[in-house]
């Protein structure tokens, strides 16, 4: 009896393990799913600026935001993520990547070698982008300077160092469904919603996260602890921006100046360097959408010492 029970438990463990392995298989986008088209480099630059690529991937210590040599160290509760080189350099960057590999990385969080990418790279938001925008982004990045710089490996303790485990995280928190316009809203509102929720990935920083690092959906955009442990991220629902007008928000995205005369600091200053490059129409659209967000209470902010 005991022998049969042992065999049954081993069989069950094998079945569970096989199911978990299959369920955590990294997803890819095949080259055959990308029909031939002529890239729009101007649109690729818009995607580059809206996506904030330079904020993380530009090599620290230099002003040229088009030199995407990586190397920025991003601390988190799970360890330190060292941002990779995404310049066209073939040895240390993405110069050898195919278009399908790039689209897969950005929209599915899967590297060319088939490994899961960590969601410190905000592909849960980028998955909402239009495939055409991501393809144009790839074409634009290929026109930028190649930077030879091998970024350090991530510094993550066990079990976070096991990339296959990211597949379980994706099952819980990753929804690859693309952005769907709301027919009840204006074209301007929908453009703003697309930029904020997709390429702009605003929720990735401006939302609290649970113990597993997933966004708390009920408090989306409601602010919380800085993911890098450097203070507090603002609530950008009407709970936090209720006194701001659409013009105030758009002006902030252009200049980094608040209605009170303060200026953006920390990582938000890097974000403004990107949003300031967008068109007035896109910044206005983002402002219209953000102003429409209902007030949501975020986590209680610790008292200042």
Of 142, 173, 204, the last residue of a domain is 173
Confidence of residue 22 (pLDDT cuts 50, 70, 90): low
Specify the pLDDT at position 101. 97
The single residue listed with the structure tokens 């129409």 is: 281
Alpha helices by DSSP H, listed for 41-186, are: 41-51, 53-57, 99-108, 123-126, 131-141, 164-173
Confidence of residue 2 (pLDDT cuts 50, 70, 90): low
- Look over the chain and give the mean of its residue pLDDT values, rounded to a whole number: 89
CATH (domain of 79): 1.10.760
Specify the pLDDT at position 77. 87
165 lies in which domain range? 40-173
Higher pLDDT, 15 or 146: 146
DSSP state of 80: E
Of 146, 173, 200, the last residue of a domain is 173
165 and 108 within one domain: yes
Separation CA 256–CA 262 (nearest Å): 8
How many helices and strands (H and E) does the chain possess?
13, 4
Confidence of residue 16 (pLDDT cuts 50, 70, 90): very low
Check pLDDT > 80 for residue 150: yes
Alpha helices by DSSP H, listed for 142-279, are: 164-173, 187-197, 203-206, 238-241, 246-255, 266-275
* 305 lies in some domain: no
The region of weakest confidence among 21-35, 180-194, 236-250 is 21-35
Question: Which residues touch 1 (CB under 8 Å, ≥6 apart)?
Answer: none
- Residue-wise pLDDT for 258-286, tens only, equals 888 788 877 888 899 999 999 999 999 99
Confidence of residue 47 (pLDDT cuts 50, 70, 90): very high
* 21 lies in some domain: no
Instruction: Please give the structure tokens belonging to residue 127.
Output: 């998955």
| Range from 44-48, 61-65, 151-155, 208-212 that averages highest in pLDDT | 44-48
* 241 lies in some domain: yes
Confidence of residue 231 (pLDDT cuts 50, 70, 90): confident
Check pLDDT > 60 for residue 8: no
162 and 102 within one domain: yes
- Residue-wise pLDDT for 49-80, tens only, equals 999 999 999 998 888 899 999 988 888 888 89
The single residue listed with the structure tokens 């079990």 is: 159
Task: Check: CB of residue 140 under 8 Å from CB of residue 41.
Answer: yes
52 and 160 within one domain: yes
Check pLDDT > 80 for residue 202: yes
Specify the pLDDT at position 156. 87
pTM listed for this prediction: 0.89
Quote the percentage of the chain above a pLDDT of 70.
Answer: 90
* 182 lies in some domain: no
- Residue-wise pLDDT for 118-136, tens only, equals 999 999 999 999 999 999 9
* 299 lies in some domain: no
Please spell the DSSP secondary structure of 210-226, one letter per residue: -TTS-B-GGGTTS-EE-
Specify the pLDDT at position 304. 62
118 and 209 within one domain: no
* 199 lies in some domain: yes
* Count of domains for the chain: 2
* 19 lies in some domain: no
Specify the pLDDT at position 6. 54
Question: Which residues touch 276 (CB under 8 Å, ≥6 apart)?
Answer: 253, 254, 255, 256
Check pLDDT > 60 for residue 85: yes
Confidence of residue 232 (pLDDT cuts 50, 70, 90): confident
Task: Check: CB of residue 138 under 8 Å from CB of residue 95.
Answer: no
């Amino acid at each position: 009896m005991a022998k049969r029970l042992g065999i049954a438990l081993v069989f069950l463990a094998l079945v569970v393990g096989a199911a978990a392995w299959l369920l955590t298989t990294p997803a890819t986008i095949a080259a055959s799913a990308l029909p031939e088209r002529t890239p729009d480099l101007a649109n690729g630059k818009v995607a580059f600026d809206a996506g904030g690529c330079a904020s993380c991937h530009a090599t620290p210590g230099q002003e040229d935001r088009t030199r995407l040599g990586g190397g920025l160290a991003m601390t988190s509760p799970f360890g330190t993520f060292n941002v990779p080189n995404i310049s066209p350099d073939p040895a240390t960057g993405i110069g050898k990547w195919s278009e399908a590999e790039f689209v897969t990385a950005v929209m599915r969080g899967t590297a060319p070698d088939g490994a899961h990418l960590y969601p410190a790279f905000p592909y849960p938001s980028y998955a909402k982008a239009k495939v055409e925008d991501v393809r144009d982004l790839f074409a634009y990045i290929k026109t930028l300077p190649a930077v030879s710089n091998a970024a350090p490996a991530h510094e993550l303790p066990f079990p976070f160092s096991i990339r296959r485990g990211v597949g379980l995280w994706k099952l819980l928190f990753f929804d690859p469904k693309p952005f769907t316009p709301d027919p009840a809203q204006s074209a301007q509102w929908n453009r703003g919603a697309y930029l904020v929720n997709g390429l702009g990935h605003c929720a990735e920083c401006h939302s609290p996260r649970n113990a597993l690092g997933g966004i708390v959906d009920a408090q989306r955009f409601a602010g919380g602890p800085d993911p890098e442990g450097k203070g507090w991220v603002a609530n950008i629902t009407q709970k936090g921006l209720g006194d701001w007008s659409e013009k105030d928000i758009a002006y902030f995205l252009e200049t980094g100046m608040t209605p009170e005369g303060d200026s953006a600091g920390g990582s938000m200053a890097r974000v403004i360097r990107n949003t300031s490059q967008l068109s007035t129409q896109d910044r206005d659209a983002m402002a219209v959408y953000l102003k429409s967000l209902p007030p949501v209470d975020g986590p209680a902010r610790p008292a200042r010492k």
